[in-house]
Structure 1
Amino acid sequence: MVFDLEIFSPVQQIRHPLFDEKGLKVFVKRDDMIHPVISGNKWRKLKYLLAEANKGGENHLVTFGGAYSNHLLATSAAAATFGFKSTGFVRGEDIHNDSLMLCRMHGMELIFVDRESYRNKPALFDKHFGNDDNAFYIDEGGASEAAARGCSELMDELPQIFDHIFCACGTGTTAAGILNGIITHQLTTILHAVPVLKNGGFIGDEIRNYAIDPNANFELHLDYHFGGYAKTTPQLISFVKDFVAQTGILIEPVYTGKMFYALFDQVRKNMFKPGSSLLAIHTGGIMGLFGMRDKFNK
């Protein structure tokens, strides 16, 4: 079976007075347009994992995520699309929300586990599916060399060479894939990785773990987590609202909002030479807005 989607992921320029003032051209790679549910980096990360499972004769995808996990939802949709069974371990108490409803609609069985047990994902997998030869383990967020390989293909689709590329990071897999693409194409492009969680320095190690050249250079911006994973501030919410209203590009405050905030802040601080070209990777994740209604309705 060929695991592929018709990728429609254009690159479009973002117009903003700040960029004109600084003499910069800023673009966004619209990976959010790949698929309504399996969008952004989610499909790129799952593509070769599905192929691995199929090759090994394993037709049951087992993975992990929080109650609003875009990865869980994307995996459930991919499983339904390509004929797999799916199970998701959900961190925390048994709750009902829109994201999990959509997971169930796509046929995913959900198993809620306490946060302490969730820390040892291989043990959870072995406990529930250790004797199931059809079960295929997918780490949280799809983190794997196969996922990095899928993300590296993004670089093959770009219409031009960019001086700088910005990417939000949760596990570092997408950034590693982009870095591998930069290395493979022998580009001088600088990768800017923006961890969306507190104390995200370990993301640098994760990127190097999946990089084909662990000594390759990239920049890690650790000051844009806004309190931690899925944490926000009024400042960040205001930025996201303004960005969407000014560009018509829908983003959310968990991943893409923090990445774009970092990009704008670095531009304001004159970190780029006039005439430079910047590319922001829209990694999807729009379903994350489901858990933010109260913050955006104020």
Structure 2
Amino acid sequence: MFTDLHSPLQQLKHSYLSGLWVKRDDLIDPYISGNKWRKLKYILQDVIAKRKTHLVTFGGAYSNHLVATASAAARSGLKATAFVRGEKVNNEMLVLCSLYGMELIFIDRGAYKEKHACYAEYSAKHADTYFIDEGGACAEAVLGCAEIIAELPQDTAHLFCAAGTGTTAAGLLQGIQKAGLKTKLHVIPVLKGGEFIREEMSGYVSADDPRLILHTDYHFGGYAKTTPGLLDFIKSFTAKHGMLIDPVYTAKMFFSVNDLAFKGYFTKEEKIVALHTGGLLGIMGMKDKLKD
């Protein structure tokens, strides 16, 4: 299922840049979307190599990772179970998970913090389980994301990506380091206090690299938080470019590129690539806010 492929590069006309290129990983798959496809590629290979049959993972009620894992499991003939953080709800994302056959177990936020304990208790009662951390964070996921670098122009001066756990960013930096490129990696944490992303990345790659730049002021209040300004940006960006972006990750990343360009951060000669990591189903969690 996870065959090698190259998602397209699309150039956007930009108010303050002669051209911004977008790596359209959102076009890889509608449900195993963007970086989720990249992360799960080698996880699924490891599952098969270890002869496991049951994926057990974790996420919030609007987690794109849960939908992606449910879809990947169904296509691979595997069982899937998710521990969902918070009270029991029924939304579009979880309906998709259920349709793909994923078992949903709702747990309170306190218990959710002890993910490995939850998994140990569950796996003691079920055979051939395989632990997948929240967001798919693991070395296999980093390896999958690192492959993106080989698909980019070598003269890319600036590469932008949004970050929640730092796994995708770690993969991108790993790819840059292995290829010996001068590309600067700009990471946009979508949570408050985003400097922690550097520490998370350091578990997989040398994160004191001067090519790594964190922009921690574009969280818009924190994870899954928005402002009227960000919502207006989403509407204008989508209408102008015909490209959907989500309020949780990619909108904040594209806003940062726009803002930095306006402030004269780049030169006209520099090639800039923004990684569209997909996750468009996250729009469903903001549908009321995005109404005119």
TM range (shorter): over 0.9
Alignment match of 2:130 (pick from 100, 113, 136) = 136
In the alignment, what sits opposite 1:236?
230
Alignment match of 1:271 (pick from 250, 254, 265) = 265
In the alignment, what sits opposite 1:165?
159
Q: TM-score, normalised by structure 2?
A: 0.97
> Which segment is superposed worse, 123-132 or 253-262?
123-132
In the alignment, what sits opposite 2:8?
10
SS in 1 for 2:288: helix
- Give matches, 1:91-106, under 5 Å: 91-106=85-100
Using the TM superposition, give the Cα deviation of residue 214 of structure 1 relative to its aligned residue in structure 2, in angstroms. Answer: 4.0
SS in 2 for 1:235: helix
> C-alpha deviations, 1:244-280, integer Å up to 9, x for none?
0111111011000000011111111111123111100
Question: Structure 1 counterpart of 2:225, which letter?
Answer: K
Using the TM superposition, give the Cα deviation of residue 53 of structure 1 relative to its aligned residue in structure 2, in angstroms. Answer: 1.3
> C-alpha deviations, 1:146-201, integer Å up to 9, x for none?
10000000111124420000000000000010111111111000000000011111
Question: Structure 2 counterpart of 1:80, which letter?
Answer: A
- Give matches, 1:52-201, under 5 Å: 52-201=46-195
> C-alpha deviations, 1:76-112, integer Å up to 9, x for none?
0000111110001100111101100000000100000
Using the TM superposition, give the Cα deviation of residue 133 of structure 1 relative to its aligned residue in structure 2, in angstroms. Answer: 4.0
- Give matches, 1:198-277, under 5 Å: 198-211=192-205, 213-217=206-210, 218-277=212-271
SS in 1 for 2:203: helix
Do the aligned partners of 2:17 and 2:268 also contact (CA within 8 Å) in 1? no
Question: Structure 2 counterpart of 1:293, which letter?
Answer: K
In the alignment, what sits opposite 2:17?
19
Q: Percent identity?
A: 51
CA–CA separation in structure 2 for the residues paired with 1:130 and 1:263: 47
How big is the alpha-carbon RMSD for the aligned residues of Structure 1 and Structure 2?
A: 1.2
CA–CA separation in structure 1 for the residues paired with 2:94 and 2:4: 26
CA–CA separation in structure 2 for the residues paired with 1:67 and 1:108: 13
Question: Structure 2 counterpart of 1:201, which letter?
Answer: E
Question: Structure 2 counterpart of 1:216, which letter?
Answer: D
CA–CA separation in structure 2 for the residues paired with 1:199 and 1:160: 32
Question: Structure 2 counterpart of 1:58, which letter?
Answer: K
Do the aligned partners of 1:87 and 1:109 also contact (CA within 8 Å) in 2? yes
Across the two proteins, how many residue pairs are aligned to each other? Answer: 291
Extract structure 1 runs of 4+ deviating beyond 6 A: none
SS in 2 for 1:74: helix
Structure 2, unmatched stretches of 5+, are: none
Using the TM superposition, give the Cα deviation of residue 6 of structure 1 relative to its aligned residue in structure 2, in angstroms. Answer: 6.0
CA–CA separation in structure 2 for the residues paired with 1:179 and 1:30: 19
Structure 1, unmatched stretches of 5+, are: none
Q: TM-score, normalised by structure 1?
A: 0.95
Do the aligned partners of 1:198 and 1:225 also contact (CA within 8 Å) in 2? yes
Do the aligned partners of 1:6 and 1:34 also contact (CA within 8 Å) in 2? no
CA–CA separation in structure 2 for the residues paired with 1:130 and 1:224: 42
SS in 2 for 1:104: helix
CA–CA separation in structure 1 for the residues paired with 2:141 and 2:129: 18
